[in-house]
């Protein structure tokens, strides 16, 4: 951490003999409470179904998240708002998801057709699917702008037109709570595309977040807003065929297909949370569109 003071707008170190002092401590903690409800139906005429609903909340002082689509959605930050006051940033964990519902099922098509050709074509197929729906990961509204002092006629700092509100030199600071509060609910896809804090995104939206008093950190807190939720359906189908091969041997062929994002849903993520960015409040990324994958495998 850097020990800095402000002298008429100039950041100066308390000790000129050290450029930076790095230290570690273990006073962080986390707590989580979750409840799950599961309903399942075992095999009945080849069909099996299961659904799981989870509700809960996790709090901590620092964490990170890597989830969804082979870690495409990440929520990772090593920034500390106030180095001497870790509990100041206690809030929702970076991986906190309030609600999640998953459902999966498998259907083995009966292979009881009397005619051999019909049985070979229609029987023996296996269909499966998995549905996931969940609320979004949290994010923190902050600014990475540097301290920009405002002087009076005598050269004294009387205000700040930039960021780094507490003037500690880290350029990671949070504003005060805006008029619409710490939370926003029921945001649509178009809201995330245009900016959830109101159009246009960027400067005008950022101006809705009050700047704290000179030398003070804001009070909005960490991880108070939500990124877009996530919904996805994957689908698979497969069948095994037996065919003559060499003399009395037979070859076994597996035909399998996989459809990712079956309904081709646009899943947004990555809301820009830096008040100094021109895209502040907008979601600028999305997960891949629908894709299909087929393969054949022969064994003998």
What is the spatial distance between Cα 10 and Cα 14, in angstroms, rounded to a whole number? Answer: 12
Name the pTM for this structure: 0.79
| Beta-bridge partner residues of 37 | 53
Q: What is the pLDDT at residue 1?
A: 41
What is the spatial distance between Cα 274 and Cα 285, in angstroms, rounded to a whole number? Answer: 15
Q: What is the pLDDT at residue 169?
A: 84
What is the spatial distance between Cα 65 and Cα 77, in angstroms, rounded to a whole number? Answer: 9
pLDDT band with cut points at 50, 70 and 90 for residue 75? low
Strand spans (E) along the chain: 4-7, 10-13, 30-44, 47-60, 64-67, 73-76, 91-92, 99-108, 126-134, 138-139, 149-151, 157-160, 225-226, 230-244, 250-260, 268-271, 283-286, 291-299
Q: Can you say whether residue 237 is alpha, beta or left, with left for phi > 0 and alpha for psi between -120 and 50 degrees?
A: beta
DSSP conformation class of 211 = P
What is the spatial distance between Cα 170 and Cα 147, in angstroms, rounded to a whole number? Answer: 10
Q: What is the pLDDT at residue 238?
A: 93
Give the pLDDT mean for 74-83: 71
pLDDT band with cut points at 50, 70 and 90 for residue 217? very high
DSSP conformation class of 4 = E
Least confident of 157-171, 175-189, 214-228, 244-258: 244-258
Give the pLDDT mean for 154-178: 91
Give the pLDDT mean for 242-270: 85
Give the pLDDT mean for 138-142: 94
Question: Do residues 257 and 236 touch, judged by C-beta distance below 8 A?
Answer: yes
Nearest to 170, CA basis, from 88, 94, 89, 79: 79
């Amino acid at each position: 951490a850097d020990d800095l003071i402000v002298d008429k707008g100039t950041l100066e170190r308390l000790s000129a003999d050290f450029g930076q002092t790095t230290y570690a401590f273990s006073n962080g903690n986390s707590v989580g409470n979750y409840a799950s409800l599961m309903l399942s139906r075992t095999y009945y005429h080849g069909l099996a179904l299961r659904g799981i609903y989870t509700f809960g909340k996790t709090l901590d002082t620092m964490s990170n998240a890597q989830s969804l689509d082979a870690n495409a959605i990440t929520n990772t930050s090593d920034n500390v708002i106030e180095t001497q006051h870790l509990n100041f940033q206690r809030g929702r964990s970076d991986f906190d998801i309030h609600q999640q519902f998953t459902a999966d099922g498998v259907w083995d098509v009966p292979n009881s057709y009397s005619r051999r050709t019909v049985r070979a074509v229609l029987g023996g197929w296996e269909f499966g699917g998995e549905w996931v729906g969940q609320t979004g990961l949290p994010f923190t509204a902050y600014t990475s702008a540097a301290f920009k002092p405002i002087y009076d006629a005598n050269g004294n700092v009387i205000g700040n037109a930039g960021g780094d509100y507490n003037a500690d030199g880290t350029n990671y600071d949070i504003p005060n709570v805006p008029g619409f509060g710490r939370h926003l609910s029921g945001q649509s896809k178009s809201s995330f595309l245009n900016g959830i804090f109101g159009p246009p995104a960027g400067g005008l939206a950022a101006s809705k977040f009050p700047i704290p008093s000179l030398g003070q950190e804001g009070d909005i807190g960490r991880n108070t807003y939500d990124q877009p939720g996530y919904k996805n359906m994957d689908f698979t189908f497969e069948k095994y065929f037996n065919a003559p091969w060499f003399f009395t041997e037979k070859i076994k062929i597996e035909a399998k297909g996989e459809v990712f994002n079956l309904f081709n849903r646009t899943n947004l993520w990555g809301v820009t949370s830096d008040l100094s960015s021109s895209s502040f409040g907008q979601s600028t990324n999305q997960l891949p569109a629908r894709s299909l994958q087929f393969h054949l495998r022969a064994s003998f």
